[in-house]
Structure 1
Amino acid sequence: MLYTDSNKFFFRNSLLLAVLFLVLWFVFPVGGAIDLHFIQPWIDTNGKFPLKNNWFLVEINHKLVKHIIIGFYVIVLLVWLASFKNLKLKPYQWRFGYLFWISILSTAVVGILKSHSAHACPWSMTEPTALSYVWNFSATNGHCFPGGHASSGFSLVTGFFVFRTSKPKTAYLFLFLGLSLGFLMGWGQMMRGAHFLSHNLWTGWVVFAFNLVMYKIFYKKLS
């Protein structure tokens, strides 16, 4: 029964990811019309991003929220380590270990893709002109795609896979928090000029796809 349920879950979500891949590829090209439309409100007439050093976006959205998420994973790691000695935590050892390591690895995958990306950040792609500014899509200082900051928020969707069969309400809470925080953290970076909308949408896709593959491999351990 668990095997059948897992196969259906994997098939449905694989199909969803395939559809979203096509939507992102054809509708949300990096630096395309939609990206430029949504980032336009945050650029001044000289092609600068006035909110680049905004206190709230830097200290709260970029630092504090990320530190809170890191703190959460530190607690998960400590509980996982304690489960090797504590008999009461022993039954949950795999879940805590999986939640920590798969979450960390999902952000690492985004980091690796980003480090090899040729796409530059928006704030590095605008060039002032006599009357306004132009976009320079040939900018060579890349390493800005997908969105590394957003991946911290999106990584929480790992909890959805961990608890989907044992605690559905908890699972959907993780899914909601992961998608919401990932999008909001990414949007804040977009307002600063650090990323396009497509950067963050692709980040969510990569994190969810990685989680789905890992769940397919290890789902029996989480039953």
Structure 2
Amino acid sequence: MITDRSRFLLTQTLLLIFSFLVLLNFFDIGGVLDLQLIYPFIDDHGQFPLRQHWALAELNHRYVKDMLILVYILLFLGWQVSLKWQNWHTRRWEFGYFFSMVAVTTASIGILKSQSAHACPWNMVIPTYDGILWDFSATAGHCFPGGHASSGFALVAGYFVYRMSNPKRAYFFLIAAVILGLAMGWAQMMRGAHFLSHNLWTGWIIWCLNVIGYVLFSHKLDIEETVL
């Protein structure tokens, strides 16, 4: 008999494989789609005019990220309280698992990014008399995957936490993660910090890590749901 958990994990695995093939075949880093989508944000001098735009450089890159970090700090505090306050004791895995997956996924993206040889688009543009050339041998590096988008995509952990106990809340976190991750990533693309592929791969990696985490620890969440 196939359980709901087994069916869910099978579906997630198939979706991960399918999306991996789509990204691999249609979203090459610095490929045709990446270049077509980023060209509108480059001027005739090979510069990104929106690079220092307040709404993108400050509001999106700083304040939105800070707000998300505050949410994750609150999760950590909730976990700490659940360890000490008896009334919240049954929620220790809810908060602890959520915060841990956020920490693991964002840290993983940060580590991959720090070791990456891929340069940012703003370091690769070479203006010429005939148009724009791309220097894909640029050695500035550290621009893949998209670190900023990971702050938004990390919310997907909430989907796995609440999918059984509170489906509405689970889908709220899923939708919020997709919207924030893509929006934050797109804003960085407009600034010239990333290609779209950088951010899509970020989302895929975080999703994959969450599926692995769910395989390893979902039984703990199931126990807590039974207690609740």
TM-score by length of 1: 0.97
Root-mean-square deviation (Å)? 1.1
Unaligned runs of 5+ in 1: none
Match of residue 179 from structure 2: 180
Indicate if the aligned counterparts of 1:6 and 1:216 stay in contact, CA closer than 8 A. Answer: no
Q: Distance in 2 between matches of 1:131 and 1:22?
A: 35
- 1:142-221 alignment, distance < 5 Å: 142-221=141-220
- 1:1-223 alignment, distance < 5 Å: 4-223=3-222
Describe the SS at the equivalent of 2:190.
Answer: helix
The CA deviation string for residues 90-118 of structure 1, in whole angstroms up to 9 with x for no partner, is 00001100010111110111111111111
Q: Which amino acid counterpart does residue 74 of structure 1 have in structure 2?
A: I
Q: Distance in 1 between matches of 2:77 and 2:132?
A: 50
Indicate if the aligned counterparts of 1:119 and 1:144 stay in contact, CA closer than 8 A. Answer: yes
Q: Identity of paired residues, percent?
A: 53
Q: Distance in 2 between matches of 1:79 and 1:10?
A: 28
Indicate if the aligned counterparts of 1:159 and 1:171 stay in contact, CA closer than 8 A. Answer: yes
The CA deviation string for residues 146-194 of structure 1, in whole angstroms up to 9 with x for no partner, is 0000000000000000000000000000000001100000000000000
Describe the SS at the equivalent of 2:133.
Answer: strand
Unaligned runs of 5+ in 2: 223-228
Following TM superposition, by how much is the alpha carbon of 1:81 offset from its aligned partner in structure 2, in angstroms?
A: 0.3
Moved over 4 A (4+): none
What is the number of equivalent residue pairs in this alignment? 222
